[in-house]
Structure formats: structure tokens, C-alpha cells
Chains A and B, each alone.
Chain A
Amino acid sequence: MTGSAAVATTIFALAMVVTLAVGLLSARGRGKGLAEWSVSGRGLGVLFVWVLMAGESYTSFSFLGTAGWSFSFGVPILYLVAYLTVGFAVAYVVGPALWTYATRHGLISIADIAEHRFRSRPLGMLVAVVGTVFLVPYVQVQIQGMGVVVNAMTYGRVDLGLAAVVSFVVAETFVLVSGLRGSAWVSALKDVLAIAAVVFLAVYVPVHYLHGLGDLAHRMVAEKPGWLTFPGHESGGLGGAWFVSTLLLNGVTITVFPTTVAGYLSARSPNTLRRNAMLLPWYQLLLFIPMLVGATALFVVPGLHNPDLALFRLVTDSLPAPLVALVGVAGALSAIVPMSVFMLAIGTLCGRTLLGGGNGADPRGSSGPVRRESAKGDSSTGELRVKRLSQLVCLLAGLVALAGSLVYPNTLVQLSVLSYEGLAQVVPAVLLALYWRGMTAPGAVAGMLAGLAAMTALWASGNDPWHGVNGGVLALALNLLVTLAVSRLGHRARRGARAGAAAGSDPPRPHPGAPGPVPEPASDSAGERTGGGET
């Protein structure tokens, strides 16, 4: 086996060098500004946005977890395809909407959007913190996933820790230098490899181990029927209610995921995003293949100790070393590309809103150089400073995740299970607020905190899923109720104050939290008008 290991290790090392080169060269001749780094200068066309966002959605989980869930539980894994597809339907509207708002006002992240919408930097900071808390574990999941993939593809020669460090160094280097454009180019390399590898596996694995796909279906029905209907095999409550609630929650939440939004904002025009909403769902068909392979593993290695290795176990068992390496490199890049975008998104979230003094939309904010990107996209000193801060956060977030993967491999990963539920709680403040003008900053903050508290309580008390329903959905419902109630109370208090002042009598005290998220009087009355009619 040492010969195979040497071949596979060499191919892996070469692939990492090529990845670094592609990533580093991609930004040659491009601007040095913040918007170029964070959102590729808003200049990517349909092809690159497709490549980038496809790369983000096909992570190392697709190679490891998808096959693993299929092996362990069966049909509950279909939620992955379901929510990604639903997410693209939602994205047909949400992508261009976030793009339009962000481009019009020169914004680069969801925290930036929230800050500008409510003219409130504290609200933007809250969104940035929530986003960071739920994204860092995701980076760690990718680093650890890379470790598992590389360890498997080199027949155990490269150990988990070394693979983790390599993935971190490669991803961090090109994303620090080239920003989102680097991720997009590496993603192109990755998509070609991943499509080739996965399509090959779809044909080869069932034929090699069984008598083709028909035989696989036959044996599943005959021997493993429990895997083929909800709630799956010993899945611990992953039934129909969980499937429906999770696909709805995740389908909406993925459209405000900071990494998805980075993809949206990098687009050249709204139609780039609308076209991508039509094209990207086709890519999700590839996700069925690791599921097939996981199901095949049920008959080949029924006693597999670590289900996540279902796919790579079959690959190393049945293929020659160069092909193993090819599949392994596809899997490794499937960790590196999302990892780089996750780290970049964290940097972008924190760099301007948290550390850089905000975008200047908050009238209470400190004075200073205008930090919004200028119309021409050239780089002023203030903008460069914000870019440096963003890169610093990008590096620190990666280091935290790397340390976590080396020291506490299980702790942070627990959190990543909650990523979607947690980020769902920013949906009202970031997305709904663009449609409902009556939402106030106190309402958005109160709702978000209530939602996060409810979600954490359900999870910590072991009640998620609660009677089969995804806890994040319940938390989001509470979030929306609180947002609505507090926003309405704020309007009423302000209206009362105005009426009192007009009558010349003693004005009732306005709600202490009420002083305007929306300072301008015209908007204020507009808020009342829609606040009465909408919702």
C-alpha cells in the first residue's frame, strides 16, 4: 500500500500547489479596494457567480455527511436537496433584492445592510456577531472534513492534524490575497473535478459492487425498506414534520447566509442572479450520487464504524491510487472553497460594521472619513483601513477554527448543527425589513434576541426537534411575533407623543427605545401608513 500512498500523496501535494497558484493569480491586475476583495467589485457574470455559488453549496459535507446520512438513516438526507432547491426559488426574489439594496447604497454584508436599513450601527453589530458565532463552527467543520478526506485518500499517510493545517494555509493564503475572486477561480477548478469524480462514481460504484443501479434499488427495497421512507432508519425523530419544517427554514435562511450574500453581491446585475436561480438547481442533482454511494456501502461494508467514511471507504477499496487521489482532491477542494468564502464572509461582516466604524448610515455614529465605497470603486484611505481590518478578522476567524479542530474537535462542531437555526433569526432584520417599512430597530433587536434565546433553550433542553418540528422554526415564529409587537408599540407611542404635542397637553412619554431608527419625518409617516395596512 505504500506505493499507492506515495502516488496519492504526491498528487494531493501537486493539487494544493495548483490551487494556490490559481487562487493567487486570479486577482492580478484587479483593484485593491474593499469592494474588490469582499464582493469582487460587483463584477462577476452569470458563469462565475454560478461557479462560485455551486462551489459553496457542494461542501465536504456532500462527500462525507451525505453518504454518511444515507448509510445511517436513509431518506432524511433528502432534506439537503430539498432545501437547496427551495432556496434557489426563494433566491429568485431575494438575491436581486439584496443586490439592489446593497449596490444602491454601497453595502457589502448583511450586517452592513441591517445597519443601513435601520440607521443603527448597534443593530448592524448584533447581526455581525450572530453571523460570526454561527459561521466559525462551519469553518471548523470544513477543516475537519478536509482532514478526514485527505487522511482517507492518502491511505492514512497524511494525518488529520497535518491535513487541517494544510487546508487552512492554502485557503487562507489565497483568500487573503485575492478575496472572493480567488474563491471563484478555485471553485472553477473544483467544480470540474467534483463533477467528473462524482459522475464517474455514480456509474462505477454500483456496477463494481452490485449488478448496477437497478440491482441496488432492488436490494434496498428487499433488504433495507426502513431506509426508504420517513422517518428513516433509527434516525431519532427525523420524520416528515422535521423534513418539512427544516426544508422551509433552511430554504429561506440560506438566502441570507453571509456566504450566499457574498455571492449575490458579487454579481454584475440583478438578472445575473435571476438566471443563476434558474441554473443552479441543476447542480444539486449531483447530490443524489453520494447518497447512492452511501446506500451501496450498506451492502459492502455494513459494519462501518464511521458512517462519514462510507464514500471514501468504497473509493479506496475499489479504485487505483491515481483515481483515489482525483476523488480525494475533489473532496479536499470541496472543503477549501467553502472554507475560504466562510472566512471571507466573517471578515467582511466584522471588518466594517464591528471594527471599521460602520458605514456612516447611523446619524449617531462617530464622524470621520466616509467609509462607503465611492462611486468609482477606487480606494480611499478609510476604505483600505477597513479592508485591512476585514483581512485581519478573516485570518483570526480561520485561526480560531483551526485551533478548535486541533484541540476541541467536537465542541464547535456541535454549534454548526445550529448554524441554520441561528442565522434564521437574522432573516427578519435583514430581509423582511426591506419589505416591511414599519419594522423598527428596537423591534428587530428584541425579536432577534427572543428568537436566539428560544432556539438555544430548545436545543440545550434537548427539545430540538420539538415534537418533530425543527426548533429554529418555532424560534423564528417567536422572533417575528416579538418584532411585530415591539415595532407596533413603538409606532403607537410615537403617534401618541405627536398627538399629545399637537393638542398642547402634557405629552405622554415616548417609548424609551423608540427614538427613531428612521430619522426622517417623511419616512416616519410612511412607516405609519404601511404599518397600518401591511403585515
Chain B
Amino acid sequence: MSSRAPEAPGTPGTPGEHGEAGAAPARTRRPALWLLLLPAAFFCAAPLVANRIEPRVLGVPFLLAWTVAATLLSPLVIWAVGRLDPLYRTGAAEPIPADRGRTDGAVAPAPPGRPEGGTGPRGTEGGAYRSGPEGPNSPEGGAR
């Protein structure tokens, strides 16, 4: 389903030699993000495999029980993704491919009459861009 593309962790493997200064390098691998497809999978499966009343779970019709279970499991999945995501543990900003190639000063164009070009007011970012104590390719990312 193409509309889900933004969710795919496209960062690994895309060519990006220029890490954003101060941010976690763009090549940080985040395989755990694929788990974010699980909530959609739970709910999409509901009409396919759970579209019936029996068996009842604690008296609740099966389709409803399935949906409640999916609603309870989803935040746990998202929580697990956070635990496995190196960017969450370092508090780093999200890598934005559209910014790559614009952030190194040589490329950024300064439109006439503007003090700042594509680089933007980096001063506003505050502590959000600190790179964490762990390295960008810290093995815990996928190991746990």
C-alpha cells in the first residue's frame, strides 16, 4: 500500500554521506520501525480472520474482543519500538532526507535579500539535537 510509504524506515541504505551536523548521523539503522506496521496489521486482519461472534472471550463477541485486544496491544508495540529505537534513546531529531545536501553550508543558496538560506535558524533547536552518549551504530538498536 503505497500510502504507507512514509512510515517505512527508508534511512538505512539510502546514500547520505552528509550527516546533519549535530544530529544523529543519517545512516543510523532503525529496524525496529518496521514493528510500527503491526497495529495496522492487527486492525486490518479484523474483518478477514475475526469477523464472527463465536468464540466469545469473557462473554464479549469475538470481533469486538479482537478489536479491543488490538487497541491494547498497539501502544505496547509503539512503546517497544521506542525502547529499540536509537534515536529515541538519544533524543535525536528525525532524519529528513529532503534536508540532506542542503545542510552543508556550501550548497545552501541564499535567496537575494535574505540573511539565511536553506540552512534555517539552527539556533532554535536547543538541546534537541544533541548526539547521545551512545554511538550512532550502537549495537543495542537491533540486538535487544
Contacts and interface: CB of A to CB of B under 8 A. Distances in A.
B13 to A, nearest CB: 9
B56 to A, nearest CB: 7
A355 interface: no
Interface string A290-326: 0000000000000000000000000000000000000
A26 B1 CA distance: 43
Among B15, B67, B74, max chain A CB count under 10 A is at: B74
A117 B102 CA distance: 11
Interface in A226-242: 228-230, 239-241
Contacts of B10: 435, 534
Contact of B6 (A90, A281, A284, A424): A90
B109 A100 contact: no
Interface string B10-48: 100011000000000000000001001111100110111
A103 B124 contact: yes
Interface in A362-379: 363, 367, 370, 372-377
Interface in A407-425: 424
A476 B68 CA distance: 29
B5 interface: yes
B7 A214 contact: no
Interface in B58-109: 59-61, 63-64, 67-68, 70-72, 74-75, 77-79, 81-82, 85, 87-88, 91-94, 96-102, 106-109
Contacts of B48: 240
B43 A519 contact: no
Contact of A78 (B46, B92, B93, B111): B46
Contact of B47 (A104, A240, A427, A435): A240
B121 A106 contact: yes
Interface residues of A, number: 90
A196 interface: no
Contacts of A204: none
Interface in A473-528: 473, 476-477, 480, 519-520, 522-523, 526
A105 B96 CA distance: 12
B10 to A, nearest CB: 6
A515 B27 CA distance: 31
A466 interface: no
Nearest to B122: A104
A503 B113 CA distance: 35
Among A105, A240, A249, A373, max chain B CB count under 10 A is at: A105
A104 B120 contact: yes
A431 interface: yes
B78 A81 contact: no
B44 A247 contact: yes
A6 interface: no
Contact of B96 (A82, A97, A288, A373): A97
B6 A94 contact: yes
Interface of A: 42, 75, 78, 81-82, 85-86, 88-90, 92-94, 96-97, 99-101, 103-106, 117, 213-214, 217-218, 220-221, 225, 228-230, 239-241, 243-244, 247-249, 251-252, 268-271, 274-275, 277-279, 281-282, 284-285, 288, 360-361, 363, 367, 370, 372-377, 424, 427, 431-437, 473, 476-477, 480, 519-520, 522-523, 526, 529-530, 533-534
19 contacts: A42-B124, A89-B7, A89-B40, A93-B6, A93-B9, A93-B94, A105-B121, A217-B60, A239-B47, A248-B44, A251-B40, A281-B74, A284-B71, A373-B121, A424-B3, A434-B6, A436-B97, A519-B109, A522-B101
Given A94-B7, A225-B53, A372-B116, 16 more contacts: A85-B71, A88-B74, A92-B78, A217-B60, A220-B61, A228-B61, A244-B47, A252-B7, A285-B71, A288-B68, A427-B3, A432-B6, A433-B98, A437-B97, A437-B101, A519-B109
